[in-house]
Structure 1
């Protein structure tokens, strides 16, 4: 596999379980990509897009609130469910705190898609294929009913 990420950071990605689906770009990140947005970088840093009524912090509560504003609710597990789209929130423990690090979206096929920072978008067979030193592991799943007609996804009431 010829991705621009470091294998030591994502040791479970292999040529058998991962496919690069678009080139590396800094235009958007995993938080946006998991919600279906490939035009904005979502981050609480004031230089980027973030809902104005969500604390500008990288915390599990803040990230969950962003997705709740888009219609997602916490659910159990990453198994496919007809008529629902799912996302997985990844986190690591940092100084005893749970810090969100990544979000991935389940595709209609049951596979998952991730935007690896400023690196490529990939599809991967299972959500846990991106577990490892970089992102930690999936700690929460969220789902929402599939939209009948896809629409532009922007974090609501954003600044930046």
Structure 2
């Protein structure tokens, strides 16, 4: 199912949980949003806080998650009362995000493809998305309070190069 793009993925540590959809991406999914893409593209096609630099850097994504009520933390292990998000990247660019579920499993949206559950962040690392470069947490009380996002159009029908 996932092949060389995810060298640590096996049938035992990855489970599809949805059909493919163009409605949202991994960053949106990590922030409990399922009706738009959240990504810092230079063409401003996708939602992003106007006060945060539109760049695929850890600094920009750290600001997004901080504005959404998260703080950096030291590990990806479940902590009672907290939700966690792992950011993946390589060569200085953020490429993916995954969210820790209350069950202790992790969940990801794979680009414009499916949602999956995976046993741990490593299950989808080392390939297309790189490695976990940062983990954030917030008190697990409802959805995060997102900063204003601009623009907020429906996602375009064809998205190329968005993880």
Give the number of the structure whose residues are more often strand, by fraction. 1
Per the TM alignment, residue 73 of structure 1 is displaced from its structure 2 partner at its CA by 0.2
Give the aligned partner of residue 18 of structure 1: 14
Give the aligned partner of residue 63 of structure 2: 65
Counterpart-to-counterpart distance in 2, 1:140 and 1:61: 11
Per the TM alignment, residue 132 of structure 1 is displaced from its structure 2 partner at its CA by 2.1
1:42 pairs with 2:38: yes
Give the aligned partner of residue 96 of structure 2: 102
Counterpart contact for 1:37–1:154, Cα < 8 Å: no
Per the TM alignment, residue 154 of structure 1 is displaced from its structure 2 partner at its CA by 7.0
Query: Which segments of 5 or more consecutive residues in structure 2 lack a partner in the other structure?
Result: 152-163
Equivalences, count: 149
* Change over 3 Å in CA distance of 1:134–1:18 after alignment to 2: same
Counterpart contact for 1:89–1:141, Cα < 8 Å: yes
Partner-residue secondary structure (3-state), 1:158: coil
Per the TM alignment, residue 139 of structure 1 is displaced from its structure 2 partner at its CA by 1.2
| 1:78 paired residue among 76, 79, 84 | 76
Give the aligned partner of residue 158 of structure 1: 149
1:69-118 deviations in whole A, cap 9, x for unaligned?
1100000100100000001011101xxxx111111000111110000111
Give the aligned partner of residue 137 of structure 1: 131
* Change over 3 Å in CA distance of 1:50–1:154 after alignment to 2: farther
Counterpart-to-counterpart distance in 1, 2:3 and 2:145: 32
1:8 pairs with 2:7: no
Counterpart contact for 1:88–1:127, Cα < 8 Å: yes
Counterpart contact for 1:28–1:39, Cα < 8 Å: yes
TM-score, length basis structure 2:
0.87
Counterpart-to-counterpart distance in 1, 2:22 and 2:7: 23
Counterpart contact for 2:69–2:145, Cα < 8 Å: no
Query: Which segments of 5 or more consecutive residues in structure 1 lack a partner in the other structure?
Result: none
